Amino acid sequence: MTANLLNGREIAKDYRAGLAEEVEKLKENGITPNLTVIIAGNDGASLSYVRSKNRAAEKIGMTSDIVHLDEDATEDEVLEELDRLNNDDNVSGILVQVPLPDQISEEKVLESIAPHKDVDGFSPVNIGRMYTGQRTFIPCTPLGIMELLKHTGSLEGKDIAVIGRSHIVGQPVAKLLTDQNATVTLMHSRTKNMTDKLSGFDVIVSAVGSPGLIKAEHIKDGAIVIDVGNTMVGDKLVGDVDFDAAKEKAGWITPVPGGVGPLTITMVLNNTLLAAKWHNGVE
């Protein structure tokens, strides 16, 4: 079969239009959501993501700032900035772009973001809150994947392979899928004969960063394929899935670019809006 395309750019555009309306309403009540991003260093891809997030925030009526520190910034400098932003009532959401330069402990930084401003949902408090089902910020890529999957129908009873066990994508998305009554198998670099097993699954979510990992022969006819990989190969961004062949086998498939990425950014905006609402007692 030839797959239906899950067009992340279009789905993101519609979702952001809804967010823009909500931002407008908040602004009528004197509340302007603000997203502030801290970045240390000059990695080209990271700078480009950060600028996209800022542009996207401004486009829906939020304000957005970038705190750009040097490649050789110290951990104390980052922590000082965080302290300032944590205590600034004009800042709704804070995001610290990862990876950080080697001299800075990611663990220390992530646990220093005030949980009520941690719109990435990366801090230990918010991760704990998510697993115990409390109100929190859910990480943006998992939320974006769930939004894409809404367009394919119910997940109840589906057998789903999630490949990758990171705290940012694999593990939280496995949790969210389980909450939708899917049966989830979490696969990773030590899974035996991994790709051979995939053909038994109704949905594959691949978050590895290994171009060409998943080929048409690994995909069950009509399966849903969500490609979270984003690897630069020369000047091209590519996912984990051999898209051109896979789209002839899958029922639904995300392209790279234009699949999960635009939804990740959308969910940063979504969480920033939530932060602004919660800080102001708006439900």
Ligand X SMILES: Nc1nc(=O)c2c([nH]1)NC[C@@H]1CN(c3ccc(C(=O)N[C@@H](CCC(=O)O)C(=O)O)cc3)C=[N+]21
**54 near ligand X (CB under 6 A):** no
Rounded to whole angstroms, the Cα distance separating 253 from 152 reads 10
Shortest gap between Cβ of 140 and ligand X (angstroms)?
A: 5
Per CB under 6 A, the segment of 77-85, 93-101, 211-219, 241-249 that binds ligand X is 93-101
Catalytic residue among 117, 118, 120, 171: 120
Per CB under 6 A, the segment of 15-23, 196-204, 253-261, 275-283 that binds ligand X is 253-261
**257 near ligand X (CB under 6 A):** yes
The residue (of 3 and 228) whose beta carbon lies closer to ligand X is: 228
**258 near ligand X (CB under 6 A):** yes
H-helix segments, the chain: 8-28, 44-59, 75-86, 106-110, 124-131, 140-150, 170-179, 194-197, 243-246, 260-279
The residue (of 52 and 180) whose beta carbon lies closer to ligand X is: 52
Q: Which residues contact 221 (CB under 8 A, 6 or more apart)?
A: 1, 249, 251
- Say whether 120 is catalytic: yes
Q: What angle do CA 53, 37, 133 make, to 5 degrees?
A: 85
SS3 content of the chain, % helix, strand, coil (to 5): 40, 15, 40
**120 near ligand X (CB under 6 A):** yes
φ/ψ (deg, to 5) at 46: -65, -45
- Say whether 179 is catalytic: no
**201 near ligand X (CB under 6 A):** no
State the burial class of residue 133 (Cβ atoms within 10 Å of its Cβ: 0-12, 13-18, 19+): exposed
**61 near ligand X (CB under 6 A):** no
Rounded to whole angstroms, the Cα distance separating 100 from 109 reads 9
- Say whether 97 is catalytic: yes
x/- map, 204-243, ligand X, by CB under 6 A: --------------------------x------x------
Q: Which residues contact 32 (CB under 8 A, 6 or more apart)?
A: 26, 61, 62, 63, 90, 276
x/- map, 158-187, ligand X, by CB under 6 A: ------------------------------
46 annotated ligand binder: no
Shortest gap between Cβ of 265 and ligand X (angstroms)?
A: 5
Q: Which residues contact 88 (CB under 8 A, 6 or more apart)?
A: none
Rounded to whole angstroms, the Cα distance separating 53 from 245 reads 32
Q: Which of residues 122-141 bind ligand X (CB under 6 A)?
A: 140
Shortest gap between Cβ of 208 and ligand X (angstroms)?
A: 14
Token readout for 35 is: 């997203």
165 annotated ligand binder: yes
Rounded to whole angstroms, the Cα distance separating 10 from 28 reads 28
Name the residues annotated as catalytic.
Answer: 53, 97, 120
- Under the rule (CB under 6 A), what is the footprint of ligand X? 48-49, 52, 95-98, 120, 140, 230, 237, 256-258, 261-262, 264-265
